[in-house]
Structure 1
Amino acid sequence: MTHEHPPTSKAASYQSNFSVVHFSRTYDEAFTLLIEARNYLSAHRGQSKKQGSREAVAQCVEEMRMTTRLIRAMAWLLAVRAVEAGEIPWDEAVDIDDLMVDLRVCTVNPHEEYGFLSPGLLDLMGRAHSLYMRTARMELQVAARCNG
Structure 2
Amino acid sequence: MTVKAPPVTVDFLSRFTASEQFQKVFQEGMGLVEETANYLDGPGRQEARLLDRHGAVAYATESMRLTTRLMQLASWLLLQKAIGAGEVSSDEARKERHRISLAEIGRGNALMGSDQLPQGLLDIVDRSLSLHQRVQKLDAMINMQAKSSATAAESPVSSQIDRIAAVFNAARP
TM > 0.5 fold call: yes
Aligned to 1:118: 118
Change (3 A) 1:17 1:131: closer
- C-alpha separation in 2, matches of 1:40 and 1:111: 23
Q: CA deviation at 1:81?
A: 0.9
Query: Which residue number corresponds to residue 39 of structure 1?
Result: 38
Instruction: Tell me if structure 1 keeps the 8 A contact 2:66–2:128.
Output: yes
User: 1 CA distance for matches of 2:13 and 2:9?
Assistant: 6
In the alignment, what sits opposite 1:136? 136
Aligned equivalents of 1:145 and 1:92: distance in 2? Answer: 18
Correspondence for 1:109: 107
Q: Give the structure with the larger strand fraction.
A: 1
2:76–2:100: 8 Å Cα contact kept in structure 1? no
Q: Does 1:20 align with 2:26?
A: no
Q: Distance in 1 between matches of 2:45 and 2:25?
A: 28
- Residue type of the partner of 1:78? L
Show the 5 A alignment for 1:43-82.
43=42, 44-82=44-82
Structure 2 CA distance for partners of 1:125 and 1:49, relative to 1, 3 Å: same
* Amino acid corresponding to residue 31 of structure 1 in structure 2: M
Counterpart CA distance in 1 for 2:107 and 2:90 is 29
Quote how far apart the aligned CAs of 1:123 are: 0.5
Q: Counterpart in 2 of 1:13?
A: none
> How far apart, in 2, do the equivalents of 1:80 and 1:17 lie?
8
TM-score (norm 1): 0.72
Root-mean-square deviation (CA), in Å?
A: 3.1
Deviation at 1:85, TM superposition (A): 1.0
Give 1 or 2 for the bigger CA radius of gyration: 2
Structure having the higher helix fraction is 2
Q: Displacement of 1:62 after TM fit? A: 0.7
- Is the alpha carbon distance of 1:135 and 1:84 closer, same or farther for their aligned partners in structure 2, counting shifts above 3 Å? same
Q: Gaps (5+ residues) in structure 2? A: 1-7, 149-173
Q: TM-score of the superposition, structure 2-length normalised?
A: 0.63
Whole-angstrom CA distance in 2 between matches of 1:41 and 1:117: 13
Asked if the contact 1:3/1:17 (under 8 Å) is kept, the reply is no
